[in-house]
Amino acid sequence: MSKLKFLICLFPLLAGCYKATFVNAGGGGSPGKTETIWVNTLLWGLVSLNTVDVKAVCGDAGAFKLQTNTNLWSMLLNGVTAGIYSPVMAHVTCKS
């Protein structure tokens, strides 16, 4: 039983957050509003169930920056489902 408690306490230390940022370098402009979208993926992020539609979020202004990352809740869901469900957070910053 103590080994199980040790493994449960060790689990958060083995997981890691990541962040990827994509900036629209050629479009110019300055950053405006930012909207966060929950992106549902399966099999450790290999299969996406939905996409980020920048045109629906920003309209004709376009995107200034798109940033994806995991957080504590996404890591917990990933761990509980053993990687079958792996959500990702996408932050879309529109041009002002």
pLDDT single digits (tens) 78-96? 888 888 888 888 888 888 7
Between the alpha carbon of residue 88 and those of residues 13, 27, 33, 38, 65, the distances in Å are 19, 26, 20, 6, 16
The whole-number pLDDT of residue 12 equals 60
Query: Where along the chain do its domains lie?
Result: 17-95
* Closest to 57 measured CA to CA, from 29, 34, 31: 34
Return per-residue pLDDT of the chain as tens, 96 residues. 677 777 676 666 555 566 666 676 666 677 778 888 888 888 887 888 888 888 888 888 778 888 888 888 888 888 888 888 888 888 888 887
Specify the pTM: 0.68
Report the alpha-carbon distance of residue 71 to residue 76 in Å, rounded: 9
